[in-house]
Structure 1
C-alpha cells in the first residue's frame, strides 16, 4: 500500500475534534501494540495484521506508537513504519492519533514524521525525566505547536500535571484540542473540565481505565482508552456497552471477576501494564512478539495466571480463547 503523503491530511483541528467526538461516543479508544520479531526487530507485517484485527472491532479511534505501543523503544524509522501502517489500515474510517514525546525538539521530529505519514493528530506524551514548573509545561506545548500542523492532545501523567493557569494557557493554543488524564486526581480534573473552552476534549487515560470509568464520567470525562481492548476487544466492548446502557449488573460482574484480578496481576511487576497486554495478545494468536527492554515478558507462573483469567473473562462475554 502506498504511503500517505502530507497533503492527504488536510483536516483542521475542528474536523479532527468532530471525528474524535463521534468516535468516542461509539467505542473505546484503541492503543495498539507494536509487533516485534523474537529477536526484537520491528515486524511490519505483524503490525499490519494486528492493526487490521483491532480495526475490525470498531474502536472510536486508533492511537499508534503511544505507551502501550512502546513509543519509548522505537527509533524514527520504526516510528514512521508504525504510524504509516496505522494510517493505511485505518483508511480514514477512524482518526489516527500518533504518540510523540521527549523534549519538544525531539517531539517535533516525531511530529514531522507523523504528519508526513498522514496522522490526524498527536498525543503529546510526558517529557523525559525532569520535573518542570507550570510555565515550562505550557511552553513545551507551545514550542511543539509552533512546529507542526497537527492538532495536539496533551497527556498529563507522572511528572506532568497542569494547574489551572497552565491549563488555560495551553487551551488557548489553537491546535491543542484536548487533554488525556492519567493521574486520577478527580478533584483537580473537575476544575480543568470546568475551565475548559467549549468543545475541548477530555480522555480518561488511567491505567486499566475501566476501573475508574464511572468516576471519570461523573466529572464529565466519559471517553477512555482501554488496554484490555488491545488483547480482548470482546471484553472491552462488553464493558463499554454495559456502561453506556446503564447495565450496572453486567459492568459490576466484569469489574469484579475480570478487571480487579487483572489489575492485581498487573501490579505484581513494574512494566506489566504493557507486558501482560502483549502476552495476552499472543495468547489470542496475535503476531505481536515480545516486549523490548527495559520491559520484560511475564514469568511462566504469571503467564499461567493470565491465561486462566483471560479464559474466564472471555467465557463471561461468550467469546473463545
Structure 2
C-alpha cells in the first residue's frame, strides 16, 4: 500500500521555503521559482509548510494557500507532502483540505503543547490520521514521542513514514529495530546527520540545502544508497560549514541561512518573518565564503 509514495520518501525530501516580499506577504513568483528549481532537478518529494517553509510563521489560511499553490504548480511531477499541525482539530482540518486539493500526503508537525503524555500523543496522532485517507508522515523532534508512542501510532494503516529529527543515534537505531511495521525512516536532521542515520536504518533524508545546491545533496544520496560511506563523508565535510551555521543559536539560523544563500545566488530575496531574524554581517560573510568554496558564487567579502 502507498508503494509509489514510500519510494519518493526514500530519497531527498525537499523542504521548500516560503518567500516573502518587503511587507512580509507571501511572494508567489519567488515560490514558483523555488518549486521550479526543485522540479527541474528531479526532486520527487516536496514539502510545503515544513519548518524551512516557516510553518509556524504562517496563518492557517496562508498554510492552505501555500499548499494549494504548490500542489497546482507541481501538477503531478513530484509527490507533495503538506505540512499540518497546531491543535489536533486544526491539523485535521488541514489534512482534509490537503486531500481535497490533491496533495499526495501530509506531514504532522511536532506538537507544541507544553504538557504532553504518551497516551495523549497517541490520541493526538490517531485523531489527525483518522481525518484523512492520505498517507501520513510523523515529524518527531521531541523525546516525549517515545518508542512506546511510535509502536502504537505506527500501527495506524495510513501512517507510513517517520521524519526523525532527534540526534540520538542509539535511540533511533533501537526504535528502527523494535518497530516491525513497514515504515520509511527519514533522517530529519538533513545532510549533516544523514550518513549516520543511514547506518542506523534511515532510507531518506530531509534537506533545506536542496533549495540552494542540488549537486551535493544528490551526491550524498547516491553514495548512501550505494553504501559508499567514505564518499558520503567527503560530501559531509563539504556541507558541514553550511549546516553548522544553520544549527547556530540553537537552530535559530535554520531558515535564515537557507534564504540568505538563495539570495546570494539569485534564487530568492532572503526575507524572513519574526521571530526568525536575518543573519549578522559576520554570518553573511561566512556563508558567502562557503558558497564561493562550492563554486556557486565568485566573490569573497572580507
Does residue 224 of structure 1 match 2:205? yes
Equivalent in the alignment of 1:199: 182
Does residue 279 of structure 1 match 2:263? no
Cα root mean square deviation, aligned: 2.0
- Range with greater deviation from structure 2 (290-299 or 216-225): 216-225
Equivalent in the alignment of 1:141: 125
Whether the 8 Å CA contact 1:64–1:86 is kept in 2: the answer is yes
- List gaps (5 residues or longer) in structure 2: none
Does residue 115 of structure 1 match 2:104? no
Counterpart pick for 1:53 among 37, 49, 60? 37
3-state SS of paired residue (1:169):
helix
How far apart are the structure 2 equivalents of 1:172 and 1:255? 34
Equivalent in the alignment of 2:75: 91
Counterpart pick for 1:169 among 129, 152, 158? 152
Equivalent in the alignment of 1:8: none
Equivalent in the alignment of 2:89: 105
Equivalent in the alignment of 1:182: 165
- Range with greater deviation from structure 2 (192-201 or 178-187): 192-201
3-state SS of paired residue (1:188):
helix
3-state SS of paired residue (1:52):
helix
Q: How far does the alpha carbon of each residue in 1:12-46 deviate from its partner, in whole angstroms, 9 at most, with x for none?
A: xx23xx12332244x41110001111110111222
3-state SS of paired residue (1:96):
strand
3-state SS of paired residue (1:225):
strand
How far apart are the structure 1 equivalents of 2:53 and 2:269? 10
Whether the 8 Å CA contact 1:33–1:288 is kept in 2: the answer is no
Whether the 8 Å CA contact 1:34–1:288 is kept in 2: the answer is no
Equivalent in the alignment of 1:33: 17
How far apart are the structure 2 equivalents of 1:142 and 1:248? 37
- 1:285-296 aligned within 5 A: 285-296=266-277
How far apart are the structure 2 equivalents of 1:266 and 1:139? 33
Tell me by how many angstroms 1:310 deviates: 1.3
Q: How far does the alpha carbon of each residue in 1:169-197 deviate from its partner, in whole angstroms, 9 at most, with x for none?
A: 11121221121100022222223222334
Tell me by how many angstroms 1:292 deviates: 0.4
- Range with greater deviation from structure 2 (246-255 or 113-122): 246-255
Tell me by how many angstroms 1:291 deviates: 0.8
1:275/1:162 Cα in 2 relative to 1: closer, same or farther (>3 Å)?
same
Q: How far does the alpha carbon of each residue in 1:44-88 deviate from its partner, in whole angstroms, 9 at most, with x for none?
A: 222112111111111231111110000101112221221112212
How far apart are the structure 1 equivalents of 2:73 and 2:171? 37
Count matched residues. Answer: 297
- 1:297-308 aligned within 5 A: 297-308=278-289
Equivalent in the alignment of 1:233: 214
3-state SS of paired residue (2:204):
coil
- Range with greater deviation from structure 2 (258-267 or 147-156): 258-267
How far apart are the structure 2 equivalents of 1:199 and 1:159? 22
3-state SS of paired residue (2:248):
coil
How far apart are the structure 1 equivalents of 2:291 and 2:208? 13
Counterpart pick for 2:248 among 260, 268, 283? 268
Does residue 210 of structure 1 match 2:191? yes
Equivalent in the alignment of 2:239: 259
- 1:239-250 aligned within 5 A: 239-250=220-231
TM-score of the superposed pair, with normalisation by structure 2: 0.91
